[in-house]
Structure 1
Amino acid sequence: MPNLIAKSALFGQAPLTLGGVTLAEAPLGEMFSVAGQGKALDKALGKLGLVMPAPNSCAVGTGGVIVWTGRDQAFLLGDGSTLAEVAAVTDQSDGWAHLTLEGDFVAVLARLVPVDLRGFGVGQALRVGLGHMQAVIFCTAAARADLLVFRSMARTAWDEIAHAMQHLAARRVVGL
């Protein structure tokens, strides 16, 4: 029997720093799609230090991070197995990649998303097109954006973001 080794979507990819912005792959761990509403779900999330997020928001609790992804839907980065009795819960861990952008992420992402990100900050989230793919972007710390992209598009997302970082760094070198 072959011995299989789990690898991340961007296995071996070193972080990239250009123009004061760092792009890196973050370990995803467990991630669950949670869909539902009601007092039972609120109580179960409360045990994790979380609440179902409002549209375009995210929150950090003792049980992980919860990110809005649609009406009565969210991604829980953490253990969602305890929610299965009160909500529709689906393990998404193997289907997504987690990237981080630290520094002036707004300037980089402004080249890739059709949304004005000025003022985008801690506690906010978006489900948006990134280049020509879909992404979930959320902010849990100042000067840091977390991005979730389909695992199959992780290399493309990396390349698109790196290209935008190169252009931004070049503009800064010439004083633009």
Structure 2
Amino acid sequence: MDNLVDHIPPHAILSVLVVDLGDLTCIEASASDFCAEGCKVTSNKIAKINDLIGLRVTGLEKMIKGRVVTSSEDWAEIKFEFKNTEVRERRRERRRQVRIPVTVSNRARSISLECLIVDASPSGCRLKGADLHYLPDEVSLKIVGLDLPVKGQIVWRKSHFAGVRMLWQFSSSAEVAKKSVVQGNGGLGSPNLPKG
């Protein structure tokens, strides 16, 4: 992470997408105060975010996993979590009822179905849709509001429902360290510098 932090101007503000891994809510936000341990995100919708998040930064192929450590109505302090980057299934995870449109396809994208995510947790979700039996076990989910697909594995099917284990892929500290926000093409994008 040192290379990333070294290339962010002290007062830089970056546009990011915050993904609540508990209920798959996506919120556009501004990120600032980057350091090796985390950053601060600001949005008038940040109070809707639960504790475990993915931070989508332009230029990185994967999200950065993080945890909300302090928050208010319009900002949250995020601590990056680079260790144990795979969310593991825990039966005690709280499932949240949601209604999120999603396109589910096989990895080759030759089969594609429009479905609805009806409940979610950091490790999985429940899909509702017709013809789910046509999908293989290994799927890709294109969630509304998130610009990259999430890999998943169907673990059960029943009538018009299917349970999917989310195979989140998060950036490692080494992958993040290779990027620089002040690079031209191929970097993490240009920072938005505050006026005044």
TM-score (norm. length: structure 1)? 0.24
**Which has more helix, going by share of residues?**
1
**Which has more strand, going by share of residues?**
2
